[in-house]
Amino acid sequence: MSAITLIATDPARFDPVALDQLEACARYDGMARIVGLPDLHAGNGIAVGAAFWSPSHVWPHLVGSDIGCGMALWETDCLVRKFRLSAIERKLHGLDAPWAGDYAESLAEVGLPPHIASPALGTIGGGNHFVEFQRIEAIADETRFADLGLRHDRVWMMVHSGSRGLGQAILQAHRQADARQGIPAGHAKAKAYLAEHDGALAWAILNRQIIARRFCESLGFGGRRVLDICHNSVTPHRSGWLHRKGAAPADRGLVTIPGSRGDFSYLVEPIAEAADHALHSLAHGAGRKWSRKDAHARLSRRFKVADLQRTALGSQVICEDRRLIFEEAPDAYKDIGMVIADLEQVGLIRVIAKLRPLLSYKTRAA
């Protein structure tokens, strides 16, 4: 069985089901190292918040169906003092509808073929995906913040989405009869999967870019992208293959780690010296405390939908899916502060800034 490293000051906090899922993967032939990150939680057969390294094999199901899912962080040109929730809320309409832009041209600009165009391009999708407007709550490293040319008085925008149906189609096309049996990396089947996987990564990054532009245009904002990172991927790493399932890369520069939609998010910089301990990976968010089913069962008895449209931090949530708003409620997630503290404790990150949510958008009928 391969070695499992858990990044946590108190590993007893981890869900035993998630740990069992890691141990099952550790028994795969060809698996060499596994890391469970502080946001580790049980997934659909595979633990989320983990990184897996093999010198010889690729497992499509370890990446999952939302290839390229990730976070983009934008600094808009809107001053925080001019951001009015009521006015912003009124303008955010029609953003779940298909994008009116030129799909083929946009795909060609990033080297993608026109046959993977889809009406989903430029849309957020469901589940835990969102667009969130934020402001800087606190700057932890003033010097680094200034060196990066960042501005504390601007509204920020975080986009969380992925490859939508494209990643699902790729997984289905390459799913193994026995998921435990990886594909030898040199095999033609692995090369075919990796080529389609890389296309889905590019598609997901483009998707987040178009989403950000749509939201900015609807509000009359300009903006610049500060970072974009994928947390579902498989990439070459030290003569092998590093699979990340809900794990942010620590080798691609700045990372944003969001809390729940009613908690703070963090802009962090990975620390290279300690990166190998965690397979050059970081937590991708707070991580679920309860499953979707449990969250709905627990919270729908205690709260009304209207109760969840405002958070304890005073931010607003736009989510017109009456089930999803309970499944994605802040109480369903772990404490992001503890996740960040665990990463800091083992020397994996340096916090640059903490961001406060202003408005979270998930889905709207029209």
Catalytic residue list: 284
> What totals of helices (H) and strands (E) does the chain contain, helices first?
10, 17
Task: Tally the C-alpha atoms within 13 A of residue 283's C-alpha that lie toward its C-beta.
Answer: 33
Q: Which residues of 302-313 are buried (b: 16+ CB within 10 A; e: fewer)?
A: eeeeeebeebee
